[in-house]
A and B are shown apart, each in its own frame.
Chain A
Amino acid sequence: MKPFDRKDGKLVLAHLLFAFAALLIGGIAGALQGMVRGGTLTLPANIAYYELLTAHGVLMALIFTTYFIIGFLYSGVSHTLGGQLLPAARKLGWYGYLLMSVGTVIGVVVILLGKASVLYTFYAPMKASPWFYIALALVVVGSWLSGYGVFYQYRKWKKGHAGKLSPLFGYMSVVTMLLWQVATIGVAIEVVVQLIPWSFGWVDRVNVVLSRTLFWYFGHPLVYFWLLPAYICWYVIIPKIIGGRIFSDALARLSFMLFLLFSIPVGFHHQLMEPGISPFWKFTQVVLTFMVIVPSLMTAFSMFATFEMLGRSKGAKGLFGWLKVLPWKDVRFFAPFMGMLIFIPAGAGGIINASDQMNAVVHNTLWVTGHFHLTVATSVALTFFGIVYWLIPAVTGRVLTPAMNRRGIVQTIVWCVGMFLMSGSMHTVGLMGAPRRTAYTTYNDHPDAVLWMPYETAMAIGGIILFAGVLLIVWNVVSLLRAPKGETEYPIGEPADKAEPTPRFLERWGMWLGIAVALILFAYTIPLIDMLNNTVTSPGYVTW
């Protein structure tokens, strides 16, 4: 077994450690803010609830995820596309890391100084300090450089292996980074063309409807940027960890391409209750949104097919006998598996949210907060946690000990219990009308709002349990850095023997990117022309 390249290991580890530092700080902000909302804590006068909420959202949703994803993708790209990163790819990775880190530090300082309590969606015409927008731009540009590194490594590999099918991990990494490049164009235009000149005072007014549309053009594929790396773990890594095979290489690639096509031209389903967008285009994007259900169903089928085939090969009997032979006591399987399981209600909730006029029932209620705490903060987060138990040992030349494995299982259970309480209460009280992103209030003891209080207390208790989960995973990461020396294999699954060869059209990037761009132009051109023609603009405000 060839050990993981040491230089690449440093780059991967730097990303992972930054990610978990962000998780810790974001977790502290989250726990405090959950207690305030539940009415169990009053903050000292110099710390504002919405400041903490901004820090929590930015650090968890943007920083933790992006750093972890880039670290994970670089590890797999290094391992499967040549065994080590080419010098140019590694350099791009470090430059990206540097830019993102400068951006993160500036951003966090500006937020904690109270100059940017605009939440991680920074809706205009709330006007944050220009440095907040500059910080975000640096993070995005840094992540682009890292993306170029992945593309470069892939292209060089393809040139050196003419006519050969690329490794699945490398292919999926390219799709993920391609999705990210196309999606971030929207937010880059919003920040650079609209918000930075406006926040410096070079222009007086901003087109609000346009800025929100550019944000959500980015905001929805952002969630798929979180999800696709988790899917890479489910499709490529998990089969190897459990001793099984990948159900179908071709269908795995097809599902990733469908995610690329249908996760971008769909941002209007976040803007269903807004003025300025015609109902025809809202519904069109709702239909396109629902197309991602197809690759999601394919993924679910593949996962359970892998599990069942493995169980049957081990002699499991009966309809569900194969469940018993899965390695439940292995955290590298257990944590991502809980993520998969929770993705079933999480995905169903997402379908509810995007249901056009029915969105009125849940829009901007705590239901939505409950929803994405299941998707990104459970399905994605637990999968990422499950990855560190083999990735850190693999890149540092160490081994996972049984004690750490046990603590990992405990961490997973703590996370699930905390999330059940917190997200369950959020979903319920959201249906009762409780708004999201709102500090503690009973609306002058209005009877409807008073009924929400027990749920908000349960949310705070769930939040405290989740914070214990954050501390546990940070402890586990630190222990992994001091684990005994040894060799840990980088687990890459192989396709099942019966699987047929993968058709080559799945690797025709020009064709797929062309379809993606055509769909985006179809879904956005007319509404955007409409928004540009109605140039009602607004001055900026600082309301915090």
Chain B
Amino acid sequence: MHIHRLEKIWLGIGISMLAIFLIVLGTMAFSMGMAPPSQHHHTIDPAKVSETAPFDKPGLIQTGDKRYEAVMVAYAFGYEPAEKLEVPAGSTIDFMVTSSDVVHGFAIVGTNVNMMIEPGEISHVSHTFDKPGEYLLLCNEYCGTGHEYMATTIVVK
């Protein structure tokens, strides 16, 4: 099949850029620990979230120097624990989240924390909060009538 010389150049440039981009993306994902969140199956019976550890006691636990684990449950239409999470600036929080009903979102405005919470699965993501402030954590997946009220805040001091 005949391909015009200019089209060969055009496709050549395009395909090379694509290849470089994919190599950069793949390298960052797999050798720099930036793969998308919560990749492996980590399952729970979605009807028994409130009686399954650690989700029977949602909350913030200090696990090290400036390191915390946040165990959270997303439900229609809010997050547990109900009270605000508070950590000092520079802290890393390892979030562990599941849903006790439908599919929810879990996004922290102004950060790259953005993941789906699905019943039966436990989603994981970690983030280091360097700047003090009151971070808005919201549900960005439609979950029902009160979806727009589903949010909480993380206070970084």
Give the interface of A toward B (CB within 8 A): 48, 50, 53, 117, 119, 123, 125-126, 208-209, 212, 248, 250-251, 254, 271-279, 282-283, 286-287, 290, 293-294, 297-298, 301, 305, 355-361, 363-365, 432-433, 435-441, 443-444, 446-449, 499-500, 503, 530, 534, 536-539, 541, 543-544
Determine if B138 and A443 form an interchain contact, defined as CB atoms under 8 angstroms apart: yes
Chain B hits for A355, CB < 8 A: 25
Residues on the B chain within 8 Å of A357, using CB? 25, 28-29, 34-36
Q: Could you pull out 27 A-B pairs where Cβ atoms are within 8 angstroms?
A: A123-B102, A126-B103, A208-B118, A208-B119, A254-B1, A274-B115, A274-B118, A274-B123, A275-B39, A275-B115, A275-B118, A279-B35, A283-B35, A290-B21, A293-B18, A301-B7, A356-B36, A433-B107, A435-B139, A435-B140, A446-B134, A447-B134, A500-B1, A530-B41, A536-B43, A541-B102, A544-B144
Tell me whether A438 and B140 are in contact (CB under 8 A): yes
Q: Mark B85-121, 1 if CB is under 8 A from A, else 0.
A: 0000000000000000111010101101111111111
CB distance from B133 to the nearest CB of A (A): 9
Cα–Cα distance between A386 and B40 once the two chains are bound (Å): 47
Check: B136 CB closer than 8 A to any chain A CB.
yes
Q: How far is the CA of A448 from the CA of B144 in the complex (A)?
A: 23
In the complex, what distance in Å separates the CA atom of A298 from the CA atom of B139?
40
Query: Knowing that A50-B147, A271-B116 are A-B contacts, what are 5 other residue pairs whose CB atoms are under 8 Å apart, sorted by A's residue number?
Result: A250-B1, A286-B22, A436-B140, A446-B136, A536-B43
Closest chain-A Cβ to B108's Cβ sits at a distance in Å of 8
- On whether A275 and B29 interact (CB within 8 A), knowing A208-B118, A297-B11, A544-B145, the answer reads no
Chain B: CB-nearest residue to A536? B120
A273 touches B37 (CB 8 A): yes
Instruction: Using known A-B contacts A297-B10, A448-B136, A541-B102, determine if residue A364 contacts B114 with beta carbons closer than 8 Å.
Output: yes
User: Which residues of chain B are near A287, meaning CB under 8 Å?
Assistant: 22
When the two chains form their complex, are residues A279 and B36 in contact, meaning their CB atoms are under 8 A apart? yes
Contacts of A297 in B (CB 8 A): 10-11, 14
Say whether A125 contacts B1, CB under 8 Å.
Answer: no
Find chain B residues with CB under 8 A from A534 CB: 41, 43
- Neighbouring B residues of A440 by C-beta, 8 Å: 148
CA distance A364 to B109 in the complex (A): 12
B85 to chain A, nearest CB (A): 15
Known interface pairs A287-B22, A294-B14, A543-B76. Does A282 touch B34 (Cβ–Cβ under 8 Å)? Answer: no
How many Å from the CB of B10 to the closest CB on chain A?
5
A294:B11 contact, CB within 8 angstroms: yes
Q: Which residue of A lies closest to B122 (CB)?
A: A275
* Contact indicator B139/A301 (Cβ below 8 Å): no
Report the bound CA distance from A439 to B138 in whole Å.
13
Q: A432 CA to B134 CA in the complex, in Å?
A: 16
Collect the chain A residues with CB atoms within 8 Å of residue B30's CB. Answer: 279, 283
Are A437 and B142 in touch, CB under 8 angstroms?
Answer: yes
A449 and B136 contact, CB distance less than 8 A: yes
Indicate if the CB atoms of B36 and A119 lie closer than 8 Å. no
Q: Which residues of A contact B25 (CB under 8 A)?
A: 283, 286, 355-358
The reply to whether B116 and A275 contact each other, CB–CB distance below 8 Å, is yes
The residue of chain B having its C-beta at the shortest distance from the C-beta of A446 within the complex is B136
Shortest Cβ distance from A278 into B: residue: B39
Those 5 A-B pairs whose CB atoms lie nearest each other, nearest first: A543-B144, A536-B120, A435-B140, A433-B109, A441-B148
Q: Contact at B110–A448, with CB atoms within 8 Å? A: yes
- Identify which of residues 1-51 in chain B touch chain A, using a CB-to-CB cut-off of 8 Å: 1-4, 6-7, 10-11, 14-15, 18, 21-22, 25-26, 28-30, 34-47
CA distance A360 to B113 in the complex (A): 7
A-chain residues with CB within 8 Å of residue B123 when the two chains form the complex: 274-275
Smallest CB gap from A54: residue in B: B142
Closest to A281 in B: B39
A276 and B121 contact, Cβ closer than 8 Å, known pairs A48-B145, A360-B114: yes
At the interface, yes or no: B143 with Cβ under 8 Å from chain A?
yes
A543 in contact with B145 (CB, 8 Å): yes
Chain A residues, Cβ within 8 Å of B29: 279, 283, 356-357
Residues of B within 8 A of A272 (CB): 36
Partner of A125, one of B3, B42, B102, B151: B102
A210 shortest CB reach to chain B, Å: 10
Contact B120 A437 (CB under 8 A): no
Instruction: Mark out the residues of chain B between 126 and 150 whose CB falls within 8 Å of any chain A CB in the assembled complex.
Output: 134, 136, 138-149
By a CB distance below 8 angstroms, the chain A residues around B117 are 275
Contacts of B4 in A (CB 8 A): 248, 305
In contact, B115 and A273 (Cβ under 8 angstroms): yes
A443-B136 in contact (CB<8A): yes
Which residue of B has the minimal Cβ distance to A253?
B1
In contact, A273 and B43 (Cβ under 8 angstroms): no
Query: Is the CB–CB distance between B41 and A364 below 8 Å?
Result: no
A125-B119 in contact given A119-B142, A275-B38 (Cβ < 8 Å):
yes
